[in-house]
């Protein structure tokens, strides 16, 4: 300890460098966590659920949102799931949903969009669009009503009370038009929702698309989304229907893979940042060893073994790393807590983003991650101290004393 405070400024500089690296790593992890949580939340509630039951034909062409691959008796499937003791307890929400691509028109203006058709009551606990309706409008409370994204409304110059002309191909291949009355305009802050989506009642969509009661998918939300793969397997075994596809959200689209890749990239970045931050310890320890050659020579002549000298210097480096990591980790954790509650508005950057993420990202606060980064800082500080410590340990006692 005395050695560390011999040159306070130098030691503080080393700690500061490690602290900044730890802080940066932790804040980046908080941002990544917030981004991924937003992505998973929006992706599952808006598109796939934690588990999606569809026909295999639909699953093969899901990106095209086909309306000619319907489940003919969705009520029977729902009933089977609800009465299965092994599954029912794990299901939080289960609902039919149809998503279909449409052409919207208003006074000669056209725009492509996606209609989300579901039971309005259930969707209140799933899409939550009723929370984002702008003043002057209300949520769907009857047939042939719709709520549309603010971006869509602006592009088509539509307001509450206007008729929304929707053109789509029906399940029999015919081209159909239906007019919905706009009762609300929503702004969620998610660009992909506000600019492309409108919600309609499921019954209207079934009639419009001529599905004869069929539904495109059954969306299931679980109490714990980590159980999606296991529960999907249970449902698949329960239904025993080779024409159906029961798919957990992790196997739909590229988002799950994207999350895995993001995590790996950020972990690698953390490692690099920590090494860069701790590298100053190598420089400082090298200087320390050179400055204390005489001292090392005396210690060795007094009988200190190589290992003892090595540990002495290694401990100095690790000590700098421990304090730096603890200070940085603590400040980073505090900053994450603040950003978790306040969030940061990225709307100007996310405007043209096609990912279903909220414009305001709220950092995640993860104590194990914070602890991990502190430990990483300590370990890396030890690693970067090895070379100068080895140099000290290998010094010849006589040469060391003579060199001064």
Partner 1 sequence: MKTRTPRAIFTAALLCTAGAGTCCAAGLSGDEILKRMDANTSYRTIEYDGTLAIYSGDTVRTKEMKATAMGTSKALAEFTNPEDKGTKFLKIDKNLWIYFPSEQDTVKISGHMLKEGMMGSDVSYQDALESDDLFKKYAVTVSGEDTVDGRPCYVLTLDATVKDVQYETRKMWVDEERFVALKQEMHAKSGKLLKVSRVLEVQQIGDRFFPVREEISDQLKQGSRTQFLMADVRLDVPVSESMFSLRNLGR
Per CB under 8 A, residues contacting partner 1 are: 103, 105, 108-112, 165, 167, 169-170, 172-179
What is each CA distance from 267 to 28, 48, 120, 322, 337, in whole angstroms? 10, 28, 41, 20, 21
Between 111 and 391, whose beta carbon lies closer to partner 1?
A: 111
Q: How far apart are the first and last CA of the chain?
A: 24
Min CB(254)–partner 1 separation in Å: 19
Nearest to residue 211, comparing CAs of 100, 48, 124? 100
Tell me the closest approach of the beta carbon of residue 102 to partner 1, in angstroms: 11
Q: Smallest distance, Å, CB 380 to partner 1? A: 48
- Residue 147 has φ and ψ, to the nearest 5°, of -120, 140
**Does residue 299 contact residue 50 with C-beta atoms inside 8 Å?**
no
Largest CA distance in the chain: 97
Nearest CB to partner 1, comparing residues 170 and 311 = 170
CA dist 401 and 378 (Å) reads 32
Token readout for 218 is 């059954």
CB-nearer residue toward partner 1: 119 or 169: 169
Q: Cβ closer to partner 1: 211 or 325? A: 211
Residue in 178, 182, 135 with CA at minimum distance from that of residue 160 = 182
> In whole angstroms, how close is the CB of 110 to partner 1 at the nearest point?
4
CB 369 within 8 A of CB 337: no
CB of 177 to partner 1, least distance (A): 4
Between residues 105 and 262, which has the closer beta carbon with respect to partner 1? 105
Q: Say whether 186 sits in a helix, a strand or coil.
A: strand
Q: Which is nearer to partner 1, 108 or 368 (CB)?
A: 108
Q: How far is the CB of 183 from partner 1 (least distance, A)?
A: 19
């Amino acid at each position: 300890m005395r050695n560390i405070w011999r040159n306070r400024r130098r030691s503080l500089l080393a700690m500061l460098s490690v602290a900044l690296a730890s802080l940066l790593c932790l804040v980046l992890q908080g941002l990544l966590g917030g981004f991924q949580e937003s992505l998973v939340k929006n992706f599952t509630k808006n598109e796939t659920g934690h588990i999606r039951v569809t026909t295999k034909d639909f699953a093969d062409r899901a990106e095209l949102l086909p309306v000619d691959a319907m489940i003919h008796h969705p009520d029977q499937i729902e009933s089977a799931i609800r009465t299965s003791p092994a599954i029912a307890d794990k299901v939080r929400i289960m609902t039919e949903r149809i998503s279909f691509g449409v052409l919207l028109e208003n006074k000669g203006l056209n725009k492509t969009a996606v209609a989300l058709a579901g039971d309005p009551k259930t969707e209140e606990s799933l899409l939550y669009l009723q929370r984002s309706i702008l003043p002057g409008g209300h949520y769907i409370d009857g047939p042939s009503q719709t709520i549309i994204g603010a971006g869509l409304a602006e592009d088509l110059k539509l307001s509450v009370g206007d008729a929304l002309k929707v053109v789509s191909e029906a399940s029999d291949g015919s081209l159909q038009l239906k007019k919905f009355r706009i009762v609300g305009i929503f702004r969620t802050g998610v660009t992909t929702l506000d600019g492309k989506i409108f919600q309609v009642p499921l019954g209207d969509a079934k009639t419009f698309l001529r599905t004869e009661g069929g539904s495109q998918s059954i969306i299931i939300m679980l109490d714990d989304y980590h159980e999606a793969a296991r529960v999907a397997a249970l449902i698949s075994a329960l239904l025993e229907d080779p024409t159906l596809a029961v798919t957990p959200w992790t196997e739909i689209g590229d988002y799950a893979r994207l999350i895995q890749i993001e995590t790996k990239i950020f972990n690698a970045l953390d490692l690099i940042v920590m090494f860069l931050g701790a590298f100053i310890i190598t420089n400082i320890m090298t200087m320390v060893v050179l400055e204390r050659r005489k001292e090392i020579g005396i210690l060795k002549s007094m009988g200190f073994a190589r290992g003892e000298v090595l540990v002495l210097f290694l401990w100095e480096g690790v000590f700098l790393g421990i304090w730096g990591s603890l200070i940085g980790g603590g400040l980073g954790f505090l900053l994450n807590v603040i950003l978790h509650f306040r969030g940061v508005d990225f709307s100007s950057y996310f405007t043209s983003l096609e990912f279903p993420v909220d414009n305001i990202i709220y950092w995640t606060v993860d104590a194990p991650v914070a602890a991990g980064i502190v430990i990483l800082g300590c370990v890396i500080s030890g690693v970067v101290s090895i070379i100068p410590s080895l140099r000290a340990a290998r010094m010849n006692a006589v040469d060391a004393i003579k060199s001064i």
